[in-house]
Structure 1
């Protein structure tokens, strides 16, 4: 059996909604031709769709290593890295407010890796809001709305952050306003 035949079997399994069997066939294709970047990429996509992010990222990274010039492989790998950062940031939200600064740093990295991630912008805006940094919260939610103008939560948050920013501007000292504007 060739790697291409194993790939065909993997796709047959996907059409039957048997993703576990598809993974087995993709892995067999890789065993037959371990230096084929396309096989690693296809397996990575299947793992990602099955919410097996760690395995998906490993195979995406391998696809990029084997064929660093393929934009699809690179974009997919960056998307998965951003997703991992999102999960890490979400966990930090559950911890103390001090962890929000780390969450912001992770979410900024996620946005750099995947500038089309609506979820990253949404979480980034929420983190900034919880830190009472409404100017950055507004910027993040506006970026989200550029990607998805009809996002119902983002529209509501933009209005909410705008009101909070106005309230802050009315009560904050000039020194605090200057500090927030330079962060």
Structure 2
């Protein structure tokens, strides 16, 4: 057995919008052929789409380990890692040390996935909380560049533009 029948069933489940069943089929394919990097990658993508990031990163890393020279696997693993960093950073707003750590995580997330708007938005807010209005404005503007119609990004850019002007006048 090579897992191809399970992969076909997983795709059929996706076409039926039954993502949990697709995950079950991809998991079966991985059990049939645990050294198949592509199966781990496909399972990881499906986990990520279901926002099950801890499981997604596990299989993304396995795919990369099994086939280290595959750029698509590496890009996917980086994107999942970035989402995990954003998720974790979003929980760290209690004190200045945690906020500093959150900023570092968000900067790392942006490096891993420069198209992750949510990372720029949270980075803008974190910089704003630190009173670093120029950096907050830049992060908000970066989010606007990615998604010009994003209302939150535009609001943040306007807010930090105004705060920076007030700060520079004083």
TM-score (norm 1): 0.88
Q: Which residue of 1 aligns with 2:117?
A: 118
Aligned to 2:91, the other structure's residue is in SS state: helix
Distance 1:25 1:87 in 2: 27
Aligned to 1:35, the other structure's residue is in SS state: coil
Long gaps (5+) in structure 1: 172-183
Aligned to 1:92, the other structure's residue is in SS state: coil
Q: Which residue of 2 aligns with 1:27?
A: 27
How many residues align structurally?
170
Q: Which residue of 2 aligns with 1:101?
A: 100
Q: Which residue of 1 aligns with 2:14?
A: 14
Distance 2:147 2:132 in 1: 23
Q: Does 1:161 align with 2:167?
A: no
Q: Which residue of 1 aligns with 2:128?
A: 129
Q: Alignment RMSD, CA only?
A: 1.3
The alpha-carbon deviation at position 112 of structure 1 amounts to 0.7
Distance 1:79 1:53 in 2: 10
The alpha-carbon deviation at position 100 of structure 1 amounts to 1.2
The alpha-carbon deviation at position 115 of structure 1 amounts to 0.7
The alpha-carbon deviation at position 41 of structure 1 amounts to 0.5
Q: Which residue of 1 aligns with 2:71?
A: 71
Distance 1:66 1:78 in 2: 16
Distance 1:136 1:23 in 2: 41
TM-score (norm 2): 0.94
Structure label with greater radius of gyration: 1
Distance 1:65 1:59 in 2: 10
Distance 1:77 1:9 in 2: 24
Distance 1:19 1:160 in 2: 40
Distance 2:15 2:115 in 1: 28
Q: Which residue of 1 aligns with 2:151?
A: 152
Distance 2:35 2:79 in 1: 22
